[in-house]
Amino acid sequence: MELKQIKYFMEVAEREHVTEAALHLDIAQSAVSRQIFNLESELEVDLFIREGRSVRLTQVGRIFYEHMKNATMVIENARREVMEYLEPAKGTVHIGFPSSMAAFTMPMAISAFRRSYPDVKFNLSQGSYHQLIDKVVKGEVNMALLAPVPSKNEKIQGDILFSENIVALLPADHPLAGESAIDISDLKEDAFVMFPEGFILRDITFEACIKHGFKPNVSFEGEDIDAIKGLVSAGLGITLIPEITLVDSLPRDTVKLELHEPKMTRTVGVISSSERQLLPTEQRFYQFLKQFFTRLEGFRN
């Protein structure tokens, strides 16, 4: 079994089409087909079911694919680790983050890091809270910025970087728009704009509302923080969001109000797998994040 065969097999399995795999690999289709045939002959099993020009994995093919996916990840990490030990200032950071950190937190941290390490590259992956934890566990990304930092997952380790306030964002013509601060119970008759189920900010909002005697009426949902702010700006509801997402400016026709009761905060941190070591460049960025936000919190205080 050769690495070339595994590479061709993975490409065909993911595209479910030999011709498309060959085009992406920039080699002849016959070369791909031959290597797949040789691999199946060596293993003495059929890895694919042929359906005209398309293919799909057999049951044993799916099992083999999952093992090879893990194997190629190990090989790639080993290659990267060797290269990064030689030149850690020119490696790549594979990191995930939620949409609430896309506009300010993530770009600010990367920009500051690249002042010292301008040649470091970043492979960025955006996702929801639970998606990011799953990606770190599976090794699809090696680290992630997350809020709040999970505390009950043995496969994850993390450090809290800072805490941030959650505030109410209301349309400018809302009856409470002139207040300086409000209680969450003041919003019980309002329509809420929220993230869909499975997003941690939705869970935080629901938990706070229910503790204060009501279930929020969700009128609209959006998977992106900017979409949610836009819906509030259009007067379609109110929302509770991290204050840091409003740091640059408020959306038009909206007001930001502090929450008096309850005082809502969430921890923001960085996580990695407890079962794998970060590669050298990623170790540098991890330590940088801890130092950078410690200094930033010192300035704020």
Q: What is the pLDDT of residues 249-279, one digit of tens each?
A: 789 999 999 998 899 998 999 999 999 888 8
Same domain as 171, residue 79: no
Same domain as 32, residue 127: no
Domain final residue pick, 34, 69, 84: 84
Domain that holds residue 228: 163-266
Residue with tokens 């309850």: 262
Measuring CA to CA, how many Å separate 189 from each of 156, 185, 218, 219, 227?
39, 9, 11, 12, 22
Domain final residue pick, 55, 84, 113: 84
How does pLDDT run across 49-58, given as a tens digit for each residue?
888 778 889 9
Same domain as 288, residue 206: no
How does pLDDT run across 127-148, given as a tens digit for each residue?
989 999 999 998 889 999 999 8
Same domain as 203, residue 171: yes
Distance CA 220, CA 229 (A): 11
CATH number at residue 180: 3.40.190.10
Same domain as 293, residue 155: yes
- Neighbouring C-beta atoms of residue 55, cutoff 10 Å: 20
pLDDT attached to residue 133: 95
pLDDT attached to residue 299: 60
**Cβ–Cβ under 8 Å, residues 203 and 128:** no
Same domain as 260, residue 173: yes
Residue 186 has pLDDT above 90, yes or no: yes
CATH number at residue 76: 1.10.10.10
How does pLDDT run across 187-232, given as a tens digit for each residue?
999 999 999 988 889 999 999 999 999 999 999 998 888 899 999 9
Cα 164 to the center of its chain, rounded Å: 19
Same domain as 182, residue 129: no
Taking the CA of residue 33 as centre, how many other CA atoms within 13 Å lie in the half-sphere pointing to its CB? 11
Q: Taking the model in full, what pTM does it have?
A: 0.69
Q: In the chain, which ranges are E strands?
A: 48-51, 54-57, 92-97, 121-126, 143-146, 156-171, 181-183, 191-194, 217-221, 239-242, 254-261, 265-273
Q: What is the mean pLDDT of the chain?
A: 89
**Cβ–Cβ under 8 Å, residues 233 and 157:** no
Give the angle 99-100-101 at the CA atoms, nearest 5°. 90
Structural domain count of the chain? 3
Query: What percentage of the chain carries pLDDT values higher than 70?
Result: 98
Same domain as 261, residue 112: no
Same domain as 95, residue 13: no
pLDDT attached to residue 298: 61
Same domain as 38, residue 28: yes
Same domain as 168, residue 152: no
Same domain as 197, residue 113: no
Domain final residue pick, 84, 113, 131: 84
Residue 88 has pLDDT above 90, yes or no: no
